[in-house]
Amino acid sequence: MIKAVIFDLDGTLLNTLGDICSVLNESLEKFNLPKVTFNDAKRFIGNGAKVLIERAVGDRIDMRQKVYNYYIERFAKCNNEFTELYHGEEKVLTALKDAGIKLALITNKPQDATDAVYVKFLAKFGFSEVLGQTEYYPLKPNPASTFEVLSRLGVEKTECVFVGDGETDVETAKAAGIRCISVLWGYRSREQLEVVGADEFCENFNELANRILS
């Protein structure tokens, strides 16, 4: 029986690509670096803000830290005007809570930016744990933050499922030894996820609910 669900954030619970791309290009433009396309930003997401900047800046290694510092400051202060919930999500998260299932969130997004977007879009669903990038835990796919959340929630590995849209989420779940459901409404294709061993997929939130509640 599933007693808890750990969700990824970007591309899983929230479509944040518009805001990420906007702030990323503002940061690059600030230092006279070439802007990236929407599709580039989509490809660069998944391993945290620092890797996002490294990929966007490219060979200009000397500029990485400056762009990164500006990016995390600006993103924490942005109003997330382009961010939105996915179709059917509100109904499903409410149903999971009503069924007594604990909800948790683990993301590689910096904690302050995570907190801001959580308060605006997700707080009403009452997540038990919200972990972003901090100095306390290494980023996914290291499973340390997942183990911590399992401990805080008081559930066993067999009672939890990890839900995410990226390769990092599949790798995190495998490292933690828990079931993973890969969603296909996010930033990666089924083929990209299969490369890292994903073997359970959902096309939409209704299908996800059926998998968890059945």
Residue 144 and residue 175: Cα distance in Å, rounded? 9
Rg (CA), the chain: 17
Task: Tell me the CATH number for domain 4-15+83-213.
Answer: 3.40.50.1000
- Please, which contacts does 46-49 make with residues 24 or more away whose CB atoms are closer than 8 Å? 46/10, 46/108, 46/166, 46/167, 46/168, 46/187, 46/188, 47/108, 47/139, 47/168, 48/108, 48/109, 48/133, 48/139, 49/75, 49/108, 49/109, 49/110, 49/133
* 158-214 pLDDT, tens digit each: 999 999 999 999 999 999 999 999 999 999 999 999 999 999 999 999 999 999 998
For residues 3-11, average pLDDT: 97
pTM: 0.92
Residue 187 and residue 17: Cα distance in Å, rounded? 9
Q: Domain limits of the chain? A: 4-15+83-213, 17-77
18, 10 in Cβ contact below 8 A?
A: no
Task: Tell me the CATH number for domain 17-77.
Answer: 1.10.150
For residues 60-88, average pLDDT: 93
Q: With pLDDT > 70 as the criterion, what percentage of the chain qualifies?
A: 100
| pLDDT confidence of residue 28 | 97
163, 6 in Cβ contact below 8 A?
A: yes
Ranges of H-type helices in 58-181? 64-77, 89-98, 111-121, 144-153, 167-176
Counted residue by residue, the chain has a size of 214
| pLDDT confidence of residue 185 | 97
Specify which residues 130 forms β-bridges with.
Answer: 105
For residue 12, give the 3-state DSSP assignment: coil
Residue 28 and residue 159: Cα distance in Å, rounded? 43
